[in-house]
Structure 1
């Protein structure tokens, strides 16, 4: 990955890196990862549908609630399964490489966490400073709670993905020993979790599927890497199985059609994660892998590949900051009497302004990424391998903090929970993910 930290130096470095790409690298993996994140970002910006009424009141008119015709579109726009698919491919390569080098689990996990979690820390520091300061300046705690929950939606995915990465050596072992039975077993277990959670009204049990279901989709990446999905017939079979089961569970069954959370009487597919997301993973994996020959030709073009490398170089920063920048845009608009936000969602005028809306948010997000993107290219870490317990504790603490923020926001009952963003920071410090200056000198 590029090591440049300045905006002016990043693009030439990325172009040089793109030109040095090994022939054997599967560029489709990088293309799918970059595309998936950009689709998620645009989807979040679109679905938020923030507007200001005639009296100056601010509303979040969720497009999914306002326009029922958008619900089937979530089978395309909810592309987190694609991210877990390519994550499985990459993490299997990484862990197998570590095994060949006799690198222990502790060193491997710390290395993965440095790439995944370090970009989260600036966002945590931002909210740890901004929320108390804004409250002291007179901003209502309830407004900060709503704003922080909306802005920190991406942290639920980070928490789930970090856990899936942490257990990747175990799930890869299951795949290597059991093959397709491991994936079938994962889907069956996900269904059992849903059955208990829904029938007994135990929402907490359903949260097990954040690990069960997403780890199962992650294992599809192992199958892709090992050539078990090379035959077109198998890829088409994934499409047929995924679509068929989804149709039965949603259109004919009790689950909502929307793969993004809604406040309806149907079973929510997203909060907590349900087994339907696993079958969505089958469907999407089958589709993108069926298109793999076309995608290979596309990403072989230098311009496409350079853009792919550029997005991947700052992929976590883009993902983590895009909704906070939406909050910045809304805040700036409110200072100008709601400028630009007076059109009602899902109207002709509202749709006509979406390109400018997207462009403005893209500029704001690019500015944030230019400031914090350097955290995605940490310096080489020459420290001795840690005991496995330390990075595992970092995973637990980081995910606990991120999960709490995604669920509650940074305020509750009028009180600013200023300490919540500090939990992931403390976990990374105590777990050895952050390399302190005193550790950088003598151990090189």
Structure 2
């Protein structure tokens, strides 16, 4: 299957540095997970699952640079704002917009959940190494929190765009206040589930920064101001994590998300604008554009499938004598380079099969708000449950069924609606 940019996309009017940032974020996620997945054999011959990167002294502080999910939501906010402007300029409605965005997340998730249902179902029936399969399933499903968070943010784009037009500073301030209030209640009461409310406040805040970026707020700021803000944010992380209740590691602050992530998001948005000139120079190179397009057109496939592929390749090396170095040894660290190449090659091959689920053609007239709402809920719940409970065979089956119904509902034709934003199938939601 070949892919080419649709004729509607005018690259001369696009900020290609945002495409580069999006691709870099996802590739960094793959690298980080390659450094975190360590499967070896102990002296008794039993499999042992470790997280080598997190065992290192430098890991916690490294996450201050390596935790790029706030930046991804910033970039997503920029693309969403551009998509909304384009969509409404053609007379599109909020319902049609949300329908298209939900479908772009639900449709690629369907084959993944079907795969998990088959593999975990077979492993359960055959009773295959449950002590390894269970943690492997939880690990493979760990990135799926993103589906729930991003879908929530995308569903709110029409509302957040209107709020930004009416009161941009107040909207951002209220989102930040919501983060602080939720954290205060969570840590003062000891009820961890209160923190789940920040799945909305934290990521909507970062998305709103992207909307500001789209409106040129960061372009109008002087470089020295952006540099001071970024430096101030990183300095603020020290008392927040050293004296406050938060983890030093930004990974520990991820689920439920907490205040340090929005501080990090502000810093990353400022740095993105400060680096615009060198990033633009990179994107002026044909080779860079080619890489960004090839990888960027497969981002959902790479993000959703990279951990299952990493686990499969790791398992295969364990079956080959001498092919699997002991985790956290020098040989294991060096092997991450070849593992990255192999994993990316396999993901590219896999994208030729499942990547068609990622491409959303122009949508015909669709269902009304209630049906779209049902589709959104069906797409949100499985990913949210996996985030909370961990992936197992039951949730895999439930998720496969829920996503199948969601895709069916969202693709159903119905009353007259302006079609969803087709060009954004390339430029947005490929995370």
TM-score, normalised relative to structure 2: 0.89
Residue in 1 that maps onto 2:37: 48
Deviations 1:212-252 (A, max 9, x none): 01100101111111111112244224303321321220134
Aligned residues: 412
CA distance in 2, matches of 1:224, 1:89: 6
Match of 2:59?
A: 70
SS where residue 215 of structure 1 aligns?
Answer: helix
Q: Is the 8 A contact 1:404 1:420 kept in 2?
A: no
* Equivalent of residue 350 in structure 1, options 332, 353, 367: 332
- SS at the partner of 2:40? strand
Deviation at 1:318, TM superposition (A): 0.5
Determine if the alignment matches structure 1 residue 397 to structure 2 residue 378: yes
Q: 2:181: which partner in 1?
A: 192
Change (3 A) 1:429 1:227: closer
Moved more, 184-193 or 204-213: 184-193
The structure that is helix-richer by fraction is 2
1:374 is aligned to: 356
Question: Once the 2 structures are TM-superposed, how far is the Cα of residue 296 of structure 1 from its aligned partner?
Answer: 1.1
Residue 408 of structure 1 corresponds to: 389
Report the counterpart of residue 109 of structure 1 in structure 2. 98
Give the counterpart of 2:409 among 401, 423, 431: 431
Q: CA separation in 1, counterparts of 2:149 and 2:337?
A: 32
Task: Give the CA deviation at 1:175.
Answer: 1.8
Distance, in Å, in 2 between the alignment partners of 1:92 and 1:234 is 24
Quote the residue 2:418 is aligned against.
none
State the 1:434 CA deviation: 6.6
Q: Which residue of 1 aligns with 2:69?
A: 80
What is the CA–CA distance in structure 2 between the aligned matches of 1:421 and 1:434, rounded to whole Å? 20
Task: Find the aligned partners of 1:214 and 1:95 in 2 and give their Cα distance.
Answer: 18
Q: Partners of 1:18 and 1:363 in 2: how far apart?
A: 28
Q: Which residue of 1 aligns with 2:153?
A: 164
How far 1:396 moved relative to its partner?
1.5
Alpha-carbon separation, structure 1, partners of 2:132 and 2:58: 30
When residues 203 and 427 of structure 1 are mapped into structure 2, their CA distance, relative to the original with a 3 A threshold, is farther
| Structure 1 partner of 2:315 | 331
| 1:105 shift after superposition | 1.4
Quote the Cα distance in structure 2 between the aligned partners of 1:84 and 1:272: 16
Q: Which runs of 5+ in 2 are unaligned?
A: 415-431
Write out per-residue CA displacement over residues 24-44 of structure 1, whole angstroms, 9 at most, x where no aligned residue. Answer: 111111111111111111111
Rounded Cα–Cα distance in structure 1 between residues aligned with 2:377 and 2:403: 12
Which of 194, 203, 207 is matched with 1:218 structurally? 207
Q: Could you report, residue by residue, the CA deviation over 1:104-145 in whole angstroms, capped at 9, with x for unpaired residues? A: 111111111222221111101111111112222331445332
TM-score by length of 1: 0.87
How far apart are the structure 2 equivalents of 1:227 and 1:404? 37
Structure 2 counterpart of 1:305: 289
**Residues 104, 162 of structure 1: alpha-carbon distance in 2 compared, 3 angstrom cutoff:** same
- 2:107–2:407 CA contact under 8 A, matched in 1: no
1:29–1:417 CA distance, 2 compared to 1 (3 A): closer
Does the CA contact (< 8 Å) of 1:85 and 1:217 recur in 2?
A: yes
Is 1:280 the counterpart of 2:264? The answer is yes
Counterpart residue number, 1:387 = 368
Given the superposition, is the C-alpha separation of residues 162 and 372 from structure 1 closer, same or farther in structure 2, using an over 3 Å criterion? same
Report deviation, 1:287: 1.1
What displacement does 1:286 show? 1.2
Task: Indicate the larger mover: 211-220 or 285-294.
Answer: 285-294
Instruction: Name the CA distance, whole Å, in 1 between partners of 2:263 and 2:78.
Output: 18
Task: Tell me the equivalent position of 1:255.
Answer: 246
SS for the counterpart of 2:12 is coil
- Offset from partner CA, 1:235-280 (integer Å, 9 cap, x none): 224303321321220134331111113xxxxxxx112111111111
Structure 2 CA distance for partners of 1:426 and 1:115, relative to 1, 3 Å: closer
Partners in 2 of 1:391 and 1:45 — Cα distance? 37
Deviation of 1:103 (Å)? 1.4
CA distance in 2, matches of 1:116, 1:300: 30
Distance 1:236 1:364 in 2: 40
* Change over 3 Å in CA distance of 1:64–1:185 after alignment to 2: farther
Of 140-149 and 122-131, the range deviating more from structure 2: 140-149
How far did residue 417 of structure 1 move? Answer: 4.8
Structure-2 residue corresponding to 1:363 = 345
| Distance 1:418-1:247 versus aligned 2 partners, 3 A rule | closer
Gaps of 5+ in 1: 1-5, 262-268, 437-444
Per the alignment, residue 193 of structure 2 pairs with 204
